[in-house]
Amino acid sequence: MNRPAPRDLVVIAKTQVTPNMLRVTLGGDGMAGFPEDQESAYVKLIFPIDGDDKDRVLRRTYTVRHDRMTDQGREIDLDFVMHGDADDDHDHGGPASNWAVNCKPGDVITVGGPGPKKLVDPTADWFLIVGDMTALPAVSVNLETLHADARGYAVIEVRSEADIQSIRKPANMTIEWVINPRPGENTTALVDVVRKIGWLEGRASVWAACEFSAMKELRRYFREERGLGKDDLYISSYWKLGMNEDTHKVIKSEDASNAA
């Protein structure tokens, strides 16, 4: 299947969802032909490199939080985490977060994708969904698309109590919020809570995404202590403290090869 050609989308609106989460709504004529039902899929924001060859660009990956049709046309929401001091793409100073802070309605951004959606297996007996703020859009979609009688847990790390969001979920899915003011530095906060979650009867489907170091600890726990195989476990690092997306992509690939 051919990769969709990048498209130019227009900034429709900006919303401060929580103190450390900024939402940018994109739409416009460029949404024509964008595949339907893309909540939790990823897109690539494409930024030219100043003073460089026009063919060289920076690509930054974000999850589609909402995908809807309005009277003005199709729109998607992308959520940007705003926190910390490190020079990575989930902090102030990265090209994507800087763009999100400074963009205004009417601005145009080139967007690639969408890429494939990654969701829990709906046929499992119960579910464990784990993520930090960078994964919160995907975690939220996972919870919102589960069947009404789904049971299990979601463990979500946020920077402050003010960053806790209201998420629609099945009645038997319990959310454990983890407050961690220094994500990426304190890598045990999320892992410690996950390890305390009671393991339910039946086949689990586990979905987890977070910072690289925490991801490695979670992967070890799920594989070695819980014995989960690839069919029952999706786990990914979305970022690494102090690294931009290009560098993180390299070490992520190396780690995946070693862990296979």
* Mean pLDDT along residues 130-135: 97
pLDDT beyond 70 at 91: no
Closest listed residue to residue 206, CA positions, set 149, 131, 141, 132: 131
30 or 89, greater pLDDT: 30
Sequence-separated (6 or more) residues with CB below 8 Å from residue 79: 17, 21, 22, 23, 62, 63, 65, 136, 137
Any bridge partners for residue 9, and if so which? 109
What ranges in the chain are assigned the alpha helix state H? 95-102, 136-145, 188-196, 212-220, 245-259
* DSSP H or E stretch at residue 236: strand 233-239
Closest listed residue to residue 96, CA positions, set 57, 52, 143, 47: 47
User: What domains lie within the chain, and their CATH numbers?
Assistant: 7-115 (2.40.30.10), 118-259 (3.40.50.80)
What value does the mean pLDDT of the chain take? 92
User: Are the CB atoms for 236 and 218 separated by under 8 Å?
Assistant: no
CA angle 224, 249, 246 (to 5 degrees): 155
* Mean pLDDT along residues 209-235: 97
Sign, CA dihedral 185-23-215-123, equals: positive
What's the pLDDT score for residue 141? 98
d(C-alpha 260, C-alpha 256), whole Å: 6
What's the pLDDT score for residue 88? 41
Backbone angles phi, psi at 126, to 5 degrees: -155, 170
d(C-alpha 124, C-alpha 121), whole Å: 6
Q: How far is CA 63 from the centre of its chain?
A: 5
CA distances from 32 to 6, 45, 125 (A): 12, 17, 38
Question: What percent of the chain is modeled with pLDDT above 70?
Answer: 93
Within 13 Å and on the Cβ side, how many CA atoms surround 89? 22
* Mean pLDDT along residues 165-187: 96
Closest listed residue to residue 203, CA positions, set 117, 122, 131: 122
pLDDT beyond 50 at 112: yes
pLDDT beyond 70 at 21: yes
Q: How far is CA 202 from the centre of its chain?
A: 27
pLDDT beyond 70 at 53: no
CA distances from 180 to 169, 188, 220 (A): 23, 10, 21
